[in-house]
């Protein structure tokens, strides 16, 4: 396609081995900018899911036995450039089967990591190699899709960052993978995964919130005047975050990896449900030597301070902060909302709902059907069969008293309305938070063939009925 590109994928290969924690991956030394991406760069990595002892809580307390990728919590950051091809060999050193799902990445169906639907689960001591091209730049993450409520609850998750070809100018880029664990007094992870109480209420909300796998032990140091790009990933199984950067007004420049018109979130609070991501521009506009809390007040009775931002004494790098530029859009097909075919999706159940079927471990339903999916090895009937290339609007109705972050695999969608009112930003998401009793209309072109999971990302809800599948053919 491009005569300048004569290198084979082998010559342009990078291998991301032995990555520690949150270290950035080495980038190819030469990536000639004249060479357009006719042949994607191949990036290779290896992930081993197994048990590991990690220091989740401050060092005066015991360490914690977790389930981790490559022994670290969260797993290594996979960092590639838009258009690269990623090949990841996943080895299973757990005592149970697993898979890896590349949340938000528009992968071919066979690479989606859904047990029994897109692949056979990876049995203990076996491996599976995923390989796909990254069509979109943005902040994504990976996690198991097999008994996720326990496998993620014990720590399996990691960030996948797809860099823009022309990233916005900032002084620093920071990644916070937010975790939430339910620990006992000896810092061990408490059992009881998938109990009826968690299933039928808000899911397994923990008692220990972590940033990049650790309870913050000191302040996060910043410099006056600097501009930070903060990538946030909510890798918690159930907790919703509502982050307030006291004394600061963050800009949101991307949601779920997809660029959005830069805007201040309502009330300057960044709300992130499970599996959701946000890219923020944080201008450090406070004076040198000052200190400001990052506060999470999403659950009023469980409000807490996540960490402090602590300014050094240096003179400000700059005194004025301008509005950040808009990121370049990813190549998503624009839905024809006016002529789209419309379907309703009704979410019901939960404690105080009129749900039958709790007896067989189900607490929720999608259009009246409760699927526990996958884990039981049952491929099930799709909710809808969509024609490839056509536009669809799904009317999502949360007929419950609970929050549900609803995730569609294989596609990003625009949220075009909430409770009947057009949204301001028509944001592209892959996971849309439905507040109690809320309705949302999502629009997308069904352009990726296959059977795609469509489920709540509160993992106990997913496991107890709030799971379905959409076929694109
Ligand atoms: Cu993040 Cu079906 O998953
Ligand atoms: Cu839910």
In this predicted structure, what is the pLDDT of residue 303? 96
Q: pTM for the complete prediction? A: 0.92
**What is d(CA 302, CA 277) in angstroms, rounded to the nearest whole number?**
22
Ligand at minimal distance from the CA of 277 is 1
Residue nearest ligand 1's atom 3 by CA: 103
- Give yes or no for a contact between 111 and 132, defined as CB atoms under 8 angstroms apart: yes
| 145 Cα: distance to centroid of ligand 1 (angstroms) | 7
Distance of CA 142 to CAs 79, 93, 116, 158, 298, Å?
12, 17, 18, 5, 25
Distance of CA 382 to CAs 3, 366, 369, 454, 468, Å?
44, 11, 11, 10, 7
Residue nearest ligand 1's atom 2 by CA: 453
Contacts for 82 with CB less than 8 Å, ≥ 6 apart: 134, 135, 136, 137, 162, 163, 164, 165, 330
Is the four-CA dihedral 237, 242, 247, 251 of positive or negative sign?
Answer: positive
| 276 Cα: distance to centroid of ligand 2 (angstroms) | 13
Residues with CB under 6 A from ligand 1: 101, 103, 143, 145, 275, 407, 409, 453, 455, 457
In this predicted structure, what is the pLDDT of residue 358? 53
pLDDT tens, the chain, 473 aa long: 333 333 333 434 555 543 444 444 443 333 434 445 457 899 999 999 999 999 999 999 999 999 999 999 999 999 999 999 999 999 999 999 999 999 999 999 999 999 999 999 999 999 999 999 999 999 999 999 999 999 999 999 999 999 999 999 999 999 999 999 999 999 999 999 999 999 999 999 999 999 999 999 999 999 999 999 999 999 999 999 999 999 999 999 999 999 999 999 999 999 999 999 999 999 999 999 999 999 999 999 999 999 999 999 999 999 888 999 999 999 999 999 999 999 999 999 986 565 555 556 789 999 988 886 545 545 578 999 999 999 999 999 999 999 999 999 999 999 999 999 999 999 999 999 999 999 999 999 999 999 999 999 999 999 999 999 999 99
Report the residue count for the chain.
Answer: 473
In this predicted structure, what is the pLDDT of residue 369? 86
- Give yes or no for a contact between 198 and 463, defined as CB atoms under 8 angstroms apart: no
Give burial (CB, 10 Å; 0-12/13-18/19+) of 293.
middle
Structure tokens that stand for 194 in this block? 């998938």
- What DSSP string describes 162-197? EE-SSPPP-SEEEEEEEEEE-B-TTSPBP--TT-HH
Is residue 198 classed as helix, strand or coil in its secondary structure?
A: helix
Torsion angle defined by CA atoms of residues 296, 242, 105 and 10, in that order, rounded to the nearest 10 degrees? -30
- What DSSP string describes 361-420? T--EEETTB-B--STT------SEEE-TT-EEEEEEEE-SSS-EEEEESS--EEEEEETT
Nearest Cα to Cα of residue 135 among 104, 111, 110, 106: 106
Give the position, in ligand 1's atom list, of the atom nearest the Cα of 453: 2
In this predicted structure, what is the pLDDT of residue 378? 54
In this predicted structure, what is the pLDDT of residue 321? 85
Structure tokens that stand for 143 in this block? 């996690």
């Amino acid at each position: 396609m491009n005569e300048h590109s004569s290198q084979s994928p082998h010559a342009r290969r990078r291998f991301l081995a032995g990555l520690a924690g949150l270290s950035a991956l080495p980038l190819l030394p030469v990536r000639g900018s004249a060479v357009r991406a006719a042949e994607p760069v191949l990036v290779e990595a290896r992930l081993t899911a197994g048990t590991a002892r990690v220091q989740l809580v401050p060092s005066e307390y015991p360490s914690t036995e977790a389930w981790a990728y490559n022994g670290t919590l969260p797993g290594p950051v996979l960092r590639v450039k838009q258009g690269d091809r990623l090949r990841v060999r996943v080895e299973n050193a757990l005592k149970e089967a697993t898979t890896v799902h590349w949340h938000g990445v528009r992968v071919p169906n066979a690479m989606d990591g859904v047990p029994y639907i897109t692949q056979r689960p990876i049995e203990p001591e076996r491996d599976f190699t995923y390989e796909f091209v990254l069509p979109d730049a943005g902040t994504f993450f990976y996690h198991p899709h097999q008994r996720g409520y326990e496998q993620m609850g014990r720590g399996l998750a990691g960030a996948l960052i797809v860099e823009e070809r022309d990233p916005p100018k900032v002084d620093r880029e920071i990644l916070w993978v937010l975790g939430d664990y339910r620990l006992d007094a000896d810092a061990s992870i408490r059992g009881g995964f998938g109990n009826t109480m968690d299933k039928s209420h808000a899911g397994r909300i923990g008692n220990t919130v972590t940033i990049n796998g650790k309870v913050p032990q000191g302040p996060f140091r910043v410099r006056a005047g600097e501009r930070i790009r903060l990538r946030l990933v909510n890798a918690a199984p159930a907790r919703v975050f509502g982050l307030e950067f006291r004394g600061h007004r963050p800009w949101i420049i991307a949601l779920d990896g997809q660029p959005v018109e830069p805007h201040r979130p309502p009330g300057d609070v960044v709300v992130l449900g499970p599996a959701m991501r946000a890219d923020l521009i944080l201008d450090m506009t406070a004076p040198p030597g000052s200190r400001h809390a990052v506060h999470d007040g999403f659950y009023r009775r469980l409000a807490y301070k996540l960490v402090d931002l602590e300014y050094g004494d240096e003179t400000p790098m700059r005194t004025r902060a301008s509005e950040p530029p808009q990121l370049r859009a990813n190549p998503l097909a624009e839905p024809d909302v006016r002529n789209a075919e419309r379907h309703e999706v009704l979410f019901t159940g939960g404690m105080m709902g009129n749900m039958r079927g709790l007896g067989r471990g189900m607490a929720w339903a999608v259009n009246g059907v409760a699927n526990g999916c996958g884990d039981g090895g049952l491929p099930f009937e799709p909710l809808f069969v969509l024609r490839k290339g056509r536009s669809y609007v799904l009317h999502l109705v949360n007929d419950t008293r609970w929050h549900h972050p609803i995730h569609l695999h294989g596609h990003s969608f625009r949220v075009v309305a909430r409770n009947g009112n057009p949204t301001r930003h028509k944001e592209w998401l892959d996971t849309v938070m439905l507040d109690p009793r809320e309705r949302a209309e999502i629009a997308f072109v069904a352009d990726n063939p296959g059977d795609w999971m469509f489920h709540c990302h509160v993992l106990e809800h997913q496991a107890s009925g709030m799971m379905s599948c959409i076929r694109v053919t």
